[in-house]
Amino acid sequence: MICCLFITLISSGTTVAQVNSNQVPESAVRTDMAAPSPSKAAMLSATFPGLGQIYNGKYWKVPIIYAGFGTLAYFIDFNNREYRVWREAWIARIDGNPNTVDDFPLHSADVLERAMNYYRRNLEITYILTVALYLLNILDASVDAHLMNFDVGEDLSLGMQPIAVPSIADASLSRQSAQITLRFRF
C-alpha cells in the first residue's frame, strides 16, 4: 500500500498534512518500465564494467568505457615495456661486471636512471587512472539509475524578474533602486 502525503494550504496560512492512500501522483508512476535499482546497477558495474549501464538502458556508454580501458591497457603495456628496457640497461651499467653487454653505450648511468624512473612513474599513474575509470564506471551506473526517477516536469522552474523598488533612505527624494527577484517553484 502506497501512502502519499499531500500538503494543503488553508487560507489562514496554516499548513495541514493529509494522508490519502487512494491517490498516487502521476509523476511518481512510470508507465514505460520499472525504475532500475541504483544498488543493483552499481553491483553489476562492479562485477563487469559496463553491465550496469546496459542494465540502465544506456547502451551507448559501453563502447566509451571499453575504449577507455583499452587505451589504458595500451599505455600500461607500453610503459611497462619501456620501464623494463631502461631498468635492464641501468642494472647492466651499475653491476660492475665488464662482460655485461651495454645496449645504450652513449647514455650515462644518470640518464638511464632518469628514463627508468620516468616510465615507472607513468606506469603507476596509468594504474591509478585505470582504478579511477573503474570507480567512475560504478558511480556512473549508480547515479544514472538514481536519476531515472528524477522529475523534469513543468513545475520545476527558475524565474528572474527585475523590479524597481522605492528607496527608503531619503523619503523626500523620489529615488528608485534596481533589484532582481528570484522565484523558485517546485
pLDDT at 36 over 60: yes
Confidence tier at 96 by pLDDT (50, 70, 90): confident
* Pairwise CA distance, residues 86 & 117, whole Å: 9
Torsion of the alpha carbons at 137, 143, 148 and 151, rounded to the nearest 10 = -150
Q: Which one has a higher pLDDT value, 168 or 129?
A: 129
Long-range (24+ apart) CB contacts under 8 A made by 176-179 are none
Enter the C-alpha cell of residue 66. 571499453
In whole numbers, what is the pLDDT of the chain averaged over residues?
A: 79
Q: Is residue 184 in some structural domain?
A: no
What is the span of the domain harbouring residue 120?
Answer: 35-149
Q: Is residue 180 in some structural domain?
A: no
**Burial class for 86, CB neighbours closer than 10 Å (0-12, 13-18, 19+):** buried
Give percent of the chain above pLDDT 70.
65
pLDDT at 50 over 60: yes
* Pairwise CA distance, residues 52 & 145, whole Å: 9
Q: What integer pLDDT is reported at residue 12 of this predicted model?
A: 33
Q: Which one has a higher pLDDT value, 27 or 107?
A: 107
Give the model confidence (pLDDT) of 130-141 as tens digits: 999 999 999 999
Q: Is residue 157 in some structural domain?
A: no
Q: Is residue 52 in some structural domain?
A: yes
Give the model confidence (pLDDT) of 63-88 as tens digits: 999 999 999 999 999 999 999 999 99
Q: Amino acid identity of 90?
A: W
> How many domains does the chain divide into?
1
Cβ atoms of 45 and 58 closer than 8 Å? no
Q: Is residue 29 in some structural domain?
A: no
Q: What average pLDDT does range 44-60 have in this prediction?
A: 95
Q: Is residue 112 in some structural domain?
A: yes
Q: What integer pLDDT is reported at residue 34 of this predicted model?
A: 79
Q: Is residue 135 in some structural domain?
A: yes
Cβ atoms of 160 and 180 closer than 8 Å? yes
Confidence tier at 129 by pLDDT (50, 70, 90): very high
Tell me how many helices (H) and strands (E) the chain has: 4, 4
Q: What integer pLDDT is reported at residue 21 of this predicted model?
A: 45
Q: Is residue 132 in some structural domain?
A: yes
pLDDT at 28 over 80: no
pLDDT at 32 over 90: no
